[in-house]
Amino acid sequence: MSDTELLLKPKPEPVRRLEVFTGAGRRRRWSSEQKARIVSETYETGETVSAVARRHGLTPQQLFGWRRNGRPRVGNAACESRAVFAPVVMDAAQPYAGVAMAPTHPVIEIVIGAATVRIPPGIDAATLQTVLCAVRAAT
């Protein structure tokens, strides 16, 4: 027996007030456009997710979930490890020593470590993603 059970307790009072909640309450539905607008506010300079969430009556966890769901899905597990940004360098069209390239077709060239990937026009995104993930995994 605990010592709190030994204390004299007053008789409980009967319930005098009962509240009944009807309707949807605080549960709200957000359209995709509203979610996109609110999520874009979190990426503005000087804004925090918590401040934006408070302003719109959301929890930060809910807003982080919207941000996560708004990111593009990556199909290959090797590429899901982390986001990486790379600088883009624009060079004037200069002939490369030992490489024969047709001057009429623009080519995107990506250098990852010692590997160089040349992307011809018209390549599909899935093939490009597979190649880049494989090169990144190998370097």
Would you kindly state where each structural domain of the chain is located, as residue ranges?
A: 29-71, 78-92+105-138
- Helix axes 49-56 and 32-42, enclosed angle (nearest 10): 140
CB burial of residue 41 (10 Å; 0-12, 13-18, 19+): middle
Structural contact between residues 76 and 130, judged by C-beta atoms closer than 8 angstroms: yes
Structure tokens at 2: 């605990």
Instruction: Provide the 3-class DSSP secondary structure of residue 100.
Output: coil
> For a pLDDT cut of 90, what percent of the chain falls above it?
16
Q: pLDDT, tens digit, for every residue of 32-68?
A: 899 999 998 988 878 899 999 999 989 999 999 998 8
**What is the average pLDDT score of the chain?**
76
pLDDT above 70: residue 103: no
Q: What is the DSSP letter of 122?
A: T
